[in-house]
Structure 1
């Protein structure tokens, strides 16, 4: 089982500042070392790549090898202003522009309960803000403001890669009875009982709120809350190869995502805002 590559920043026993910029695999990363948690963000995409409350195993998975250019696979990519393939422009990148562009860090602060960060991306007539609160739990909130004079279409997702002991030994509860669409089989589906993803899974559920990721190999349970997003997406490639990712790495993650606008794109009026959130905590 591979070690999360960004844990290398926390092996030193000497005292470190709470926030410190570093270079890693040709990217600028912000290393966060707080008494309650450790975390790493990439400036590219404002992407939370590593999060680990003290005394626990990592919550997020990240690929050991990153491409020289392009998207980093792992953590919580911000898929915006579309996720998946663009509905009309096949040559445009999957999951949008936001995860490929450097964001501006407007604010970072710490207190006894954790750290707070505010990232912003200003692109054409859009303003996108990512607020993060990290401590014993994880709270990410994405906000988009449409500043054009004409209506526009939007879809977005917080595409979280959750670190697990073994994908063959996990179960997701909380989706029981949820209606959705199975993109592998290209048909509607309804979840009966706990969801297991061994062998591959790409399902979009009409679901909002909490679900529980039961990780039997690591003997832990995470409560994941997708808020009032329209969809909860569960994805794992199964036996299909991922470019630049070894099979042993693939066994160590499952994606549970908050998404909105994927089935029917959101239409934002001038000045209107759209919101998306993803929260997680360790179940007692």
Structure 2
């Protein structure tokens, strides 16, 4: 894996933006046996996978990439990196042990319904229909990142579900970043299986898997890169902070794993959400540069 001038590992999908001649704003490519949509706009560069409607790379022009992605992808299954969409459940399915963790949404191909460009960036609409369910993912990308997931169903009965955005935020080194905005927030530590209440900045020392009763804005401060990202999880009922520490991840080198931190928006983690016929549920994730 090549290194950038700053000494950090380059994003593997930056290879799509090295051409000297002008490139179209939207262009489909084939990469590691997946169809990917490469977006090259004067305001930003981005890559989506058709599988999972997964935003794998996002880089406002003139900035370092905001999202991390593994260099090697599995031949089949979920791609590790970017912003995986968990749908229509989060974590393990409550009743079917053989069904995939975090739902079918990140494993199936979505339909690109619409893509538009404008002076401020690009907007995209992805859609997935599964049985009586419909999920619509709306993305607005420019100097900031705005994702919205809307769920509906056509069943005649109340249905239960969960949804989540699990972004891998790209950072200089997990040991050198701080997450601000969780002061006084109650949560649960999945590793120690105990309740926790956080005070001060959250710094990652080893493995971390904490679920906080939090919604709204957090700030991810990266002093080495002199960058802070404002991360808004909207009205999701849980914010999850996850990093494997020194635990091995399939297909991910140890040095690679030091370059991300997951700060997630999720609803329906502990108890499934209820959605009546005619209702819809929305999950959002926004990020902007603070400095």
Residue 24 of structure 2 corresponds to residue 17 of structure 1: yes
Q: Among 74, 77, 84, which residue is 1:67 paired with?
A: 74
Residue 29 of structure 2 corresponds to residue 8 of structure 1: no
Structure-to-structure mapping, 1:84-95, within 5 angstroms: 84-95=91-102
C-alpha separation in 1, matches of 2:131 and 2:62: 43
SS in 2 for 1:30: strand
Residue 61 of structure 2 corresponds to residue 57 of structure 1: no
* Aligned twin of 1:279: 286
Structure-to-structure mapping, 1:229-240, within 5 angstroms: 229-240=236-247
Structure-to-structure mapping, 1:1-284, within 5 angstroms: 1-284=8-291
Shifted more, 79-88 versus 120-129: the winner is 79-88
1:211-262 deviations in whole A, cap 9, x for unaligned? Answer: 0000122121000000011111110011111001000000000000110010
SS in 2 for 1:99: coil
C-alpha separation in 2, matches of 1:271 and 1:198: 45
Q: Following TM superposition, by how much is the alpha carbon of 1:91 offset from its aligned partner in structure 2, in angstroms?
A: 1.3
Q: Please report the RMSD computed on the Cα atoms of aligned residues, expressed in angstroms.
A: 0.7
Specify every segment of 5 or more residues in structure 2 that has no aligned partner in the other structure, as ranges: 1-7
SS in 2 for 1:267: strand
C-alpha separation in 1, matches of 2:61 and 2:158: 45
SS in 1 for 2:71: coil
Q: Following TM superposition, by how much is the alpha carbon of 1:14 offset from its aligned partner in structure 2, in angstroms?
A: 1.1
Moved over 4 A (4+): none
Q: Following TM superposition, by how much is the alpha carbon of 1:2 offset from its aligned partner in structure 2, in angstroms?
A: 2.4
Shifted more, 198-207 versus 124-133: the winner is 198-207
1:11-54 deviations in whole A, cap 9, x for unaligned? Answer: 11210000000000000000000001000000000000000001
C-alpha separation in 1, matches of 2:83 and 2:191: 23
* Aligned twin of 2:5: none
C-alpha separation in 1, matches of 2:144 and 2:265: 17
C-alpha separation in 2, matches of 1:128 and 1:148: 14
State the number of aligned residues. Answer: 284
C-alpha separation in 1, matches of 2:17 and 2:32: 17
C-alpha separation in 2, matches of 1:160 and 1:127: 22
Query: Are the aligned partners of 1:155 and 1:262 in contact in 2 as well (CA < 8 Å)?
Result: yes
Q: Tell me the TM-score normalized by structure 2.
A: 0.96
C-alpha separation in 2, matches of 1:198 and 1:162: 17
SS in 2 for 1:100: coil
SS in 1 for 2:106: helix
SS in 1 for 2:255: helix
Q: Following TM superposition, by how much is the alpha carbon of 1:78 offset from its aligned partner in structure 2, in angstroms?
A: 0.4
Query: Are the aligned partners of 1:126 and 1:145 in contact in 2 as well (CA < 8 Å)?
Result: yes
Q: Tell me the TM-score normalized by structure 1.
A: 0.99
Q: Following TM superposition, by how much is the alpha carbon of 1:202 offset from its aligned partner in structure 2, in angstroms?
A: 0.5
